[in-house]
Amino acid sequence: MLFAGAGIGLGLLLIGWGLHPVPRSTGGVGPPVAPAGTRRRIADLGPRLLRGAAGAAVAALVTRWPVGALGGFAFGFFASELFASRTRRAAETERTAAIATWTEMLRDTMAAAAGLEQAIITTAPIAPEPIRSEVQAMVTQLQRERLGVALAAFADRLGDPTSDLVVSALTLAASGEAQDLGELLGSLSAAARDNAAMRLKVDASRARIRTSVRIITMVTVGMATLLVLLSRSYLKPFDSATGQIVLVAVFACFGSALWWLAAMSRYVAPERFLVTSRKPDA
């Protein structure tokens, strides 16, 4: 029963995973660079599967229903959405602020008569911590590839709309098409800081919705657990095949409602516009 429920859940997961776009090639030498969102999904997959398996095992042990095991797997797998961590939201805001700070560093370094590529190399060791590894990876890539290619790979690593604006300006400057780059970088830095401040305000305004999601989820799961443990006869109709089918509909309704509430509490970032598909240089 446990393996049947976990197998169904894993199958649905793999179908959904296959619908996501594949990593794009950065061109030139080196492996393809996966977008930041794809890398985060890959990093989260292992813990999600472990939580799903644990949820399926507990649900199967308590309910002795195949659908119960499937519901437990889904609950464990999507627990990070239902109980969204403030740490991740804070990290995203800090990354946006870090992009603003690094942009100001570039502007000030270039004002001291340094070229764009030299300014990037100079600021890499002192770049803000949230984006330092990405900046240093770009500097490493500059040793074997053109600046435009390295900047595009840098944008893919960050996967942030704000960084796309900065990279676009730097790419134009690298090709000699930008005028007064210092003033432009200053404007982009101010826009990035405004974006970070807006995210903080949105996060604070939606705190009540996130609290509601947690309360509703815990009350629903707690009530179902108490019914199974203390009033098994009340749930006896669900032991049949028809009952299991009905239970699928019940789980789907509750799951969809909770997912909708969780989606309402999340900050939806603008879509990236700097999406490229580069080929190796001839």
Residues 110 and 148 in one domain: yes
Report the pLDDT value the prediction gives residue 42, as an integer from 0 to 100: 72
Structure tokens belonging to residue 99: 């992009």
Of the residues 203, 229, 254, which one is the last residue of a structural domain?
203
| Claim to verify: residue 60 and residue 77 sit in the same structural domain | yes
Say if residue 131 is in the same domain as residue 216: no
Contact 24/35 with Cβ under 8 angstroms?
Answer: yes
If asked whether residues 98 and 78 sit together in one domain, one would say no
One domain, residues 94 and 188: yes
Do 94 and 191 fall within a single domain? yes
In a domain, 271, yes or no: no
Residue 68 has a pLDDT of 87
Residues 6+ apart with CB under 8 A from 124: 132, 135, 136, 138, 139
Neighbours of 32 (CB within 10 A): 12
98 and 192 within one domain: yes
Number of domains in the chain: 2
In this prediction the pTM is 0.64
Residue 29 inside a domain? The answer is yes
Question: In this structure, is residue 279 part of a structural domain?
Answer: no
Which amino acid, residue 182? G
Do 108 and 187 fall within a single domain? Answer: yes
Same domain flag for 197 and 96: yes
Asked if residue 136 and residue 185 are part of one domain, the reply reads yes
Instruction: Could you list the beta-strand ranges (E) of the chain.
Output: none
Domain end among 185, 203, 221: 203
Digits of tens for pLDDT over the chain (282 positions)?
444 444 545 454 444 444 444 444 444 434 444 555 565 667 678 888 888 899 899 888 888 888 888 888 988 888 877 776 677 778 888 888 999 999 999 988 888 766 888 889 999 999 999 999 999 999 999 988 898 899 999 988 888 888 888 898 888 888 776 667 788 888 888 988 888 888 888 877 777 888 888 888 888 888 888 888 888 888 888 889 998 999 899 889 888 888 887 777 776 767 777 765 444 333
| 272 in a structural domain | no
* Size of the chain in residues: 282
Domain end position, chosen among 188, 203, 218: 203
| 128 and 98 within one domain | yes
How much is the pLDDT for 154? 92
Is 97 contained in some domain? yes
Instruction: Read off φ and ψ for residue 231, nearest 5 degrees.
Output: -140, 60
Q: Do the domain assignments include residue 280?
A: no
In a domain, 274, yes or no: no
| Residue type present at position 280 | P
Range of the domain at 140: 90-203
Does 199 lie in the same domain as 147?
yes
Do the domain assignments include residue 275? no
Neighbours of 119 (CB within 10 A): 20
**pLDDT at residue 133, rounded to an integer:** 93
